Amino acid sequence: MAPKRQAPKPKKHEKPIKAKLGKNKARQARCPKAPAKLNGLRTSKTGSKAPKLTLTATKKALLPPRPKNAPHAFALFVQEFAQTERGKQQHGPDRIDAAAREWKNMELEEKKAYTQRAVPAQEDFREKFELLKAKRQLLAKPPNGFALFVRAVYNDKAARSAGPKGFTNMTNHIAEQWKKMSDELKANYNDQAQQLQEAYKEMLGAIKEGKTLDEFLEEQEQ
């Protein structure tokens, strides 16, 4: 009777599969996964203690959709040209090229008429886009005291021109100014940053309760 073959012994650097699985299960038990979101808000990765509220990609749902670009004068002309007999006979780039040739030969007064027609739509686009930018800034994490100081220096033309050239050199220069600044002057920026942080937390709390951004802003205006 032939002797039974024995299973090869694992090498010293290899661990049995059961031991690996056991360690993975133990690690998962010690470090449970934190919930990814909480009512549209992300919690802290550890999931321990109070959740840290930070807006995730779901903040897009709190914002109005980006307004469509308003047509300019030539775009309005192309739309009308597409409805003509010559425009219907052509498609795609050929239609655009034909419209461009007619536009080039058009009298200046005729072009001005299209420009005036495009003004209301462009003004409406700018108004809606500025409103969208303002709401995006509200949802952005507020700056700290040093960031407010950096912003103040860059907004001051005299201070900006007096500093060294180059973004890196200017940033280092501002950082040195911040280090040498007295605690009283720093307190002005830090207090302002604290107020922005408190307002930001209040907004996150309102959103967590289910309010929209517009509802929160209306309450602040009252």
Q: Average pLDDT for residues 20-35, to the nearest whole number?
A: 47
Q: How confident is the model at residue 9 (pLDDT cuts 50, 70, 90)?
A: low
Q: Is the pLDDT of residue 66 over 60?
A: yes
State phi, psi for 53 to the nearest 5 degrees.
-85, 115
Fold topology of 141-212: DNA Binding (I), subunit A (1.10.30)
Record the tokens describing residue 24, joined without a space: 């993975």
Q: What is the pLDDT of residues 167-194, one digit of tens each?
A: 888 889 999 999 999 999 999 999 999 9
Decide whether 65-139 matches 141-212 in CATH topology: yes
65-139 belongs to which CATH class? Answer: mainly alpha
